[in-house]
Amino acid sequence: MPLYELPGEDTLRINLVGSVSGSAAGQDDTSETLTNRADRKILGVIRRLSDVVLVGAASVRAEGYQLPRTAPLAIVTSSGDLGGHRVDITADRHVPIVLCPAAAAERAGESLPDAQIVVIPDGDGRMAAGDLIAALRERGLRRIVCEGGPSLAGQLLDAGLVDELCLSTSPVLGGVSLPLFGSAPITSRRLSLGQLLTDESSTIYARWSVLS
């Protein structure tokens, strides 16, 4: 666990897995064929060190997210459409949080009953990355890990809100093309490599500090 500890209370970390060719999805159109046991173990460690797990609605629909054991799941959705999710709210897990514009709140509540709906200010349905993070921290959720999807990760990076990028690189080329950080341009930023691990499968686990 010390390998992934972060100093300070207000931290935002992105944790993603991708192929060598830069895709966030494997041949099954999800991250399942890119990840492995070691990667999932690191994911669990990072979650335990976090106050909340932040994820976009598209990932919830595509990946069939389950609620983490140690931290609440916060889902970002512009439309409120969480159809096809497999989020099962049980007494032994935290109640999920849905971050959405006012116009999407009713639909979000219908899609995921019993979730905590948090309305975020928006412009034409688009929520600012800074407002998403501020809403979580106002609720005492200060150490945040974002697990994607690519568009949300790209938004957070572009806004200069990310302290660290944890990137697992699966030894796979080709296949599905889903850019790790989405298709929108991202402001150029320097990174500093703080840690580099590998395993017997040749998967690489890097910790990058995002410099201002």
Q: Is 188 exposed, middle or buried (0-12, 13-18, 19+ CB in 10 A)?
A: exposed
Contacts of 14 (CB under 8 A, 6+ apart): 145, 146, 147, 148, 153, 156, 157, 162, 164, 165, 166
pLDDT of residue 113: 87
Topology of the domain comprising 54-141: Dihydrofolate Reductase, subunit A (3.40.430)
Of 7, 145, 165, which Cα lies nearest the Cα of 71?
145
- pLDDT tens series, the chain, 212 aa: 578 998 788 999 999 999 999 999 888 888 888 999 999 999 999 999 999 999 999 888 888 788 888 999 999 999 998 877 677 777 788 999 999 999 999 999 998 888 999 999 999 889 999 999 999 999 999 999 999 899 999 999 999 999 999 999 999 998 778 999 999 999 999 999 999 999 999 999 999 999 97
Whether the CB-CB separation of 128 and 173 falls below 8 Å is answered with no
Ordered by start, the domain boundaries in the chain are 1-51+145-212, 54-141
Give domain 1-51+145-212's CATH number out of 3.30.300.30, 3.90.550.10, 3.30.565.10, 3.40.430.10. 3.40.430.10
Predicted model pTM = 0.94
pLDDT of residue 1: 57
Q: Determine the Cα angle at 59 with ends 193 and 121, to 5°.
A: 90
Q: How far apart are CA 180 and CA 175, in angstroms?
A: 14
Q: How far apart are CA 3 and CA 197, in angstroms?
A: 10
Six-digit token string for 32: 């399942």
Q: Do domains 1-51+145-212 and 54-141 have the same CATH topology?
A: yes
pLDDT of residue 51: 97
pLDDT of residue 90: 79
C-alpha dihedral, 54 to 59 to 65 to 67, nearest 10°? 10
